[in-house]
Amino acid sequence: MESAFPVVLVVIKTLIVLAAVLTFVAYLTLIERKVLGWIQVRIGPNRVGPWGLLQPLADGAKLLLKEEITVSSANTVVYIAAPLIVVVCALIPFAVIPFAKGLGLESLLGPVAGKFDLNTGVIADINLGILYILGISSLGVYGVILGGWASNSKYSLLGSIRAAAQMISYELGLSLSVVGVLILAGTLSLVQIVEAQDSVYKWFVFRQPLGFLLFLIAGSAEIARTPFDLMECENELVAGYQTEYSSMKFGLFYLGEYAHLLFLSSMMTTLFFGGWQGPVLPPVVWFLGKTFFFVFVFVWIRGTYPRLRYDRVMQFGWKALLPAGLFNVMATAFVYMIWVQYVSR
């Protein structure tokens, strides 16, 4: 009977995290529109429910009830599969994000919790968490590429080609930006990375400021947030890779986009700002507070900076971000070696 407990708890954790993520993603649309309205001195959604709180439900109902259209010349199977790939690749990485120190199940489960380590606030604490995330995240570009190609539209295809080039270019800088954290933490497990930041002065943002800045920029480009949203450039591409999509298939692309935004904010919290660590308040409150602070930062950036020119985006990725990432890795390794060999002895 005891052997069934881990499976049951993993299922419970998965359902809780999935429900929470989908709810947060739905309300990210409202948060973004409200914050942009505040920045641009306008009201934003305020008609559906008090303070517009039911607007995400209205948007979801609208997408579900709109006419479902499949382009006659499209590759139907790939055309339908593309938005599903985007959503799945955006949701799966949340399995290794540690959102709290525990679930508070000690008194309920007793010795079983300790025997099977059931009280960890993460669905799957795997030793190669970072590699898992980088591997899954890199697959998300396939959904964008296939969606643009399968639509049989020149605007969609051009948007997907832009997306592929941009994501590949900035994925290198994104990967290099976390190597410094891995060197200092000595592990690939996200849980252990958070535990290594057990006080504010040990947060990796203070020991890896360049790595944090590179992660912020490269992450924005990876999820195609302004000013890096060249794959959705409406004045050049109508709407980009999703031009020929309608109804809920169109909605799935944006569900994936906002899920990526929430995931990137969670990763910044976990890697650089101590994750769930914090005084007085429950760990999950600290995690959510830090995460939504970064959500606000990304919305703030969208309301502040204009879209960049595509050739300059690519030049910046290869000629500035990549060399800076390599420099940060080498400098971190050199300083760490000096510290281990001479200072810490």
The answer on pLDDT for 100 being more than 80 is yes
Q: Which of 207, 90, 79, 88 is nearest to 150 (CA)?
A: 79
pLDDT of residue 270: 93
pLDDT of residue 345: 63
Greater confidence (213 vs 339) lies with: 213
The answer on pLDDT for 342 being more than 80 is no
The answer on pLDDT for 117 being more than 80 is no
Judging by beta carbons within 10 Å of its beta carbon (0-12, 13-18, 19+), is residue 126 exposed, middle or buried? Answer: middle
pLDDT tens-digit series, residues 11-60: 888 888 899 999 999 999 899 999 999 998 898 888 888 888 999 999 88
Amino acid at 233: C
User: How far is it, in rounded angstroms, from Cα 287 to Cα 205?
Assistant: 16
- Mean pLDDT is lowest, of 69-73, 92-96, 335-339, for 69-73
Q: Which of 327, 317, 293, 297 is nearest to 174 (CA)?
A: 317
pLDDT tens-digit series, residues 275-322: 898 888 888 899 999 999 999 999 999 888 888 888 888 899 999 999
In this prediction, residue 8 has a pLDDT band, given cuts at 50, 70 and 90, of: confident
Provide the 10 A C-beta neighbour count for residue 264: 25
pLDDT of residue 232: 73
First to last CA, the chain: 50
How confident is the prediction for the chain on average, in pLDDT?
85
The answer on pLDDT for 3 being more than 60 is no
The packing angle between helices 322-338 and 154-185, to 10°, is 10
